[in-house]
Amino acid sequence: MQAVILVGGQGTRLRPLTSTVPKPVVQLVDRPFISFMLEWLAGHGVEDVIMSCGFLAEGVRRVLGDGSELGIRLRFVEEPEPRGTAGALKLAEPMLDERFLMLNGDVLTDLDISAQIAQHERTGARATLSLVPVADPSAYGVVVLDEDRAVRDFVEKPSAGTVDSNLISAGAYVLEREILDLVPAERNVSIEREVWPALVGDGLYGYPSQSYWLDIGTPARYLQGTFDIIEGNVQTALRERLGSDWLAVHESAQVLGRAIPPAVIERGVSIADGAHVGSLVVLAEDVSIGARSVVERAVILQGTQIGEGCELRDCIVAPGCRVGAGTRITGGAVLGEGVVVGADNVITRGARIFPGVDLPDHAIEF
């Protein structure tokens, strides 16, 4: 089976994490984010993956290589300018088989794509959309199905109680190559707004699923995805590494303080005496946590140094940062790569500090 993954966006909602790193290869727990999707696809028999790239495409290619480590063939196409979801797919047309998968590269999921393919074959569909329920569909485009799962209608952001459906697109599609005939070449085309409506009543089906699904598009969702992975709420290859105690600690890590599961503590990490790490924490390679510091519900990426007596809760700290003693980073705050924060600062309320900023001692109480 073959798959096309759309990863052309700039990841603006996830900045400053994506200010210096392409979104598909931003680290999520212990690997590039897109690796979770590639592993999931490989587990369903996908052997050939085409990445449709745009922003910082060479960075994606450099990190992922040719896919051989995952047992897949990985190829790349690049948009000369933004072409929309269908336009990006059209660029890959010369490389596509008669049937293939198309996926939104922002998604973390354990959807049973094999079952979706089986339904696609049974119904003789031209396109089958994976669908997931949401508690409040008013913020989404809702998909309405007939009893045989044929798509009857799309309703954009319906008011409560006006539509008998709470199903939204999960960004995973099984497609017949013939639908590319509906996509004009060399222009911006939306598959959601232009192609799907043209297929209603003509071979368009939905596949409803209760599987885990999350769009990793904002810092809050990045944290939620991290927590769901290390709690086992979504099935990933990391589960075995966490073991029965839900605590993955690399043998080279020096843990003198407390480490509370679930947590992932990587190679070269140092946790000083009196420090408290966890639960729901990822410490990437060579992170150091100072004495008496508390880190909970947080991701601290490679090489970052946290001073003594700090408090980090519900936050993300990118690689190579330095945080001075007594500083508090809480409330959804995000530090970009290489940020330096002096002693006794308070950064909270979703503040985003962009790469290279240097804040002196006592500079901010956000």
Q: Are 246 and 230 in contact (CB under 8 A)?
A: yes
Furthest-apart CA pair in the chain: how many Å? 65
Q: Are 103 and 173 in contact (CB under 8 A)?
A: yes
- Measure the CA–CA gap between 348 and 265, rounded to whole angstroms: 24
> Smallest Cα–Cα separation from 210: which of 240, 228, 234?
234
Q: Which two tokens stand for residue 291?
A: 């004495």
- Measure the CA–CA gap between 339 and 357, rounded to whole angstroms: 5
Instruction: Please enumerate in sequence order all residues whose Cβ is within 8 A of that of 197, keeping only pairs 6 or more positions apart, or say none.
Output: 154
- Measure the CA–CA gap between 132 and 113, rounded to whole angstroms: 13
- Measure the CA–CA gap between 129 and 120, rounded to whole angstroms: 9
161: left (phi over 0), alpha (psi -120 to 50) or beta: left
- Measure the CA–CA gap between 1 and 49, rounded to whole angstroms: 9
Q: Which long-range contacts (CB under 8 A, 24 or more apart) does 188-195 make?
A: 188/82, 188/83, 188/84, 188/87, 189/83, 189/84, 189/85, 189/86, 189/87, 189/90, 190/84, 190/85, 190/86, 191/84, 191/85, 191/86, 191/89, 191/102, 192/85, 192/141, 194/86, 195/86
- Cβ atoms within 10 Å, residue 349: 10
Residue tagged active-site, from 71, 95, 146, 157:
157
Q: State yes or no: is 157 an active-site residue.
A: yes
Catalytic positions: 157
